[in-house]
Structure 1
């Protein structure tokens, strides 16, 4: 069954309908004047009405700008396009425009049977170290420059890769290198040789999307390369909480486009295009749950492209760094409520968040039990588990509870991170309001740049 019903969506009128209308319709004619030169009252009235109508239309046309100083009524070009274009043909043309620029991404990792990870390649080299296909994804070529072609994809598509390959639309496999990646926005840029690549995708403006608008997802779902799916924009702006460290603690929020076009494993990193063949988003994720269908998400182009530009220029996204490992006060209260023995008062390393990021391996040091002294009305904030860098230099310490940044209330690690990344820059001064041993204090510090791991 086709997606569109031709009879319903077509703007053409069938010849049969025209002939039927001509047979049933009635012609209105003024006829000829009588031989004696006289006109009937009916004919005079009809002629007078016609002249009056023409005059009224002419005056109105002049007033709205057919010629003169009146204002011209603007027509939404998107609406006009939808009304006059054949939906079936537009989808075909849009797909043909972008498909040659869509590639499949192969993430290769060290053979698990050898007990080696990607880091071991640095020590042993590629020789003698087997690689296997770990995952598949998609990407889109968006730029060609100086003999290189650049591809946008998702960070999770190339995460932990020992080697990355790009498969062109013609089936050719090329070695790819990672220019830069960012786990927070889940974006990455790859580089391949541009020889023989003639098509580069055009980036569109996701700000112009409207709910109900037709869009298409192109990619490599389930290893089926060069696949297209189609649907509508379900919601132009949807906020999705994400756990960057995959520990079940939501420490970031991603603003995405919600679509009902089918998104499956392998579609990640591929383009979401409009019916003009422009990339308006990067397919990123879907809701994978029993009984859930048609709920997919894409990173809007307006958010993706500034990140891509930073990755192209610096190989990373530079962000301000406070230097605190934290735990949400809300989580602490929940633990206290459910605590059954003294052992639960400690924290594992994976519970630590550094400016909202996973703390990593840690040094194995056991934290002393958290015993907070807070006013009864303080229920929201973040607990400092360890201070490093700028925070340590400013005097922040274990068990401090941060409640404000620059007088902006902070109730969670997510809010702390969002404030830093949205409102501050590296080198900016920031005021930290906190409680220490029940006493309210204020510290000033200068935000730094986080060093590479």
Structure 2
């Protein structure tokens, strides 16, 4: 078992992924602090109290406080979720929920007629996007985003969204792991992005949950649910208890720039500054990535790489496919120096590149 899908609803069907990839799942900035019936209820505090009633109260309090910030987003082809980011009507969601659409219908968890919204900008490299309500209503409830560095394995979390078009649904689980690097499929609605530092959760993530909220019991959004695992032996069937969310730190970094500048100017993601394609060796197996073009003044250009070179290594990582290059870069940072191994005219060469930033 190791295939992935993103929660996505298209013509009423979920989308399946290949092993080691993920697809987007859509389907049928932080806000102000608000009072809670159980303020600051953490899993540790609830456990210390020794009562199931206290835990249930904490769940109910978190749902009451956060669910009004989770919306349903509908296009002509997609249905997904989003999170109210500020009181100006900005809503953050997954890029794969947005697709190629520019106009949207947004249904608030608090009810009322769907509201019109337009695209501000999409950043497929991190599978994130921001849309904006044309006429934000009074009493809009922005979510409060948490500190990704404090997310811990075993932490109780709730996933909120609109799975299979069932509006304002909530599932429960724990943080299963942190700092996962996961690659989406480029087919079936996915952006093909490789996303680092994702939060793995056992909370059910189903088609339509994409773009919603993964929430802790302090009423904070700690991630945006994006991907769910599938078991190849079950065809397109879901592998229970394996889902992934983009961490709040990445969401805030990207959303803040889109809202301020209309685009991403500093993603925090490393880039080599090349356009590449896969290369097959004499044995018909993947053998590297050929450089189609280099970005002027980019990392590769400054290191001396040229169109026609075939990259076979990045640092200590062997590069055989475009996905392996993307995954290797996802674990590095802009400004970091790395050795690039490549073939040119039958000879193996190396160069040191200072990585640039993956931006729009």
1:179 CA drift (Å): 1.7
From the superposition, tell whether residues 421 and 181 of structure 1 become closer, same or farther in structure 2 (CA, over 3 Å): farther
Q: Number of residues paired by the alignment?
A: 302
2: distance between equivalents of 1:288 and 1:429? 36
1:262 CA drift (Å): 1.9
1:431 CA drift (Å): 7.7
Which residue is equivalent to 1:151? 91
- The range that moved more, 261-270 or 192-201, is 192-201
Aligned ranges 1:7-406 → 2 under 5 Å: 79-84=44-49, 86-107=54-75, 133-144=76-87, 148-169=88-109, 170-192=111-133, 193-244=135-186, 252-289=194-231, 290=234, 292-318=239-265, 322-328=272-278, 332-333=280-281, 336-338=282-284, 382-387=289-294, 389-390=296-297, 396-403=305-312
1:234 CA drift (Å): 2.2
Deviation track 1:189-216 (CA, whole Å, cap 9, x = no partner) reads 1211332234221111233233332211
2: distance between equivalents of 1:249 and 1:179? 18
More helix by share: 1
Give the match's secondary structure for 2:225.
strand
Gaps of 5+ in 2: 1-41
Which residue is equivalent to 1:18? none
2: distance between equivalents of 1:205 and 1:430? 30
2: distance between equivalents of 1:239 and 1:323? 21
Give the match's secondary structure for 1:423.
coil
Deviation track 1:390-446 (CA, whole Å, cap 9, x = no partner) reads 4797664443233566x7766254565454894335xx9988654322345566889
From the superposition, tell whether residues 300 and 444 of structure 1 become closer, same or farther in structure 2 (CA, over 3 Å): closer
1:154 CA drift (Å): 0.5
From the superposition, tell whether residues 419 and 294 of structure 1 become closer, same or farther in structure 2 (CA, over 3 Å): closer
2: distance between equivalents of 1:249 and 1:380? 24
Q: Relative contact order (alpha carbons < 8 A, sep ≥ 6): 1 or 2 greater?
A: 2
Deviation track 1:330-364 (CA, whole Å, cap 9, x = no partner) reads x523xx2149xxxxxxxxxxxxxxxxxxxxxxxxx
Task: Look at both structures and tell me which one has the larger radius of gyration over its CA atoms.
Answer: 1
Contact residue 259 and residue 297 of structure 1 kept, 8 A: yes
Which residue is equivalent to 1:13? none
Contact residue 160 and residue 213 of structure 2 kept, 8 A: yes
From the superposition, tell whether residues 239 and 224 of structure 1 become closer, same or farther in structure 2 (CA, over 3 Å): same
Gaps of 5+ in 1: 1-76, 108-132, 340-378
Q: What's the TM-score, normalizing by structure 1? A: 0.57
1:260 CA drift (Å): 2.0
1:89 CA drift (Å): 0.6
2: distance between equivalents of 1:271 and 1:210? 17
1:256 CA drift (Å): 1.9
Give the match's secondary structure for 1:337.
coil
2: distance between equivalents of 1:259 and 1:381? 33
2: distance between equivalents of 1:87 and 1:393? 56
Which residue is equivalent to 2:25? none
1: distance between equivalents of 2:180 and 2:125? 17
1: distance between equivalents of 2:178 and 2:354? 37
Q: What's the TM-score, normalizing by structure 2? A: 0.70
1: distance between equivalents of 2:193 and 2:96? 17
Give the match's secondary structure for 1:294.
strand
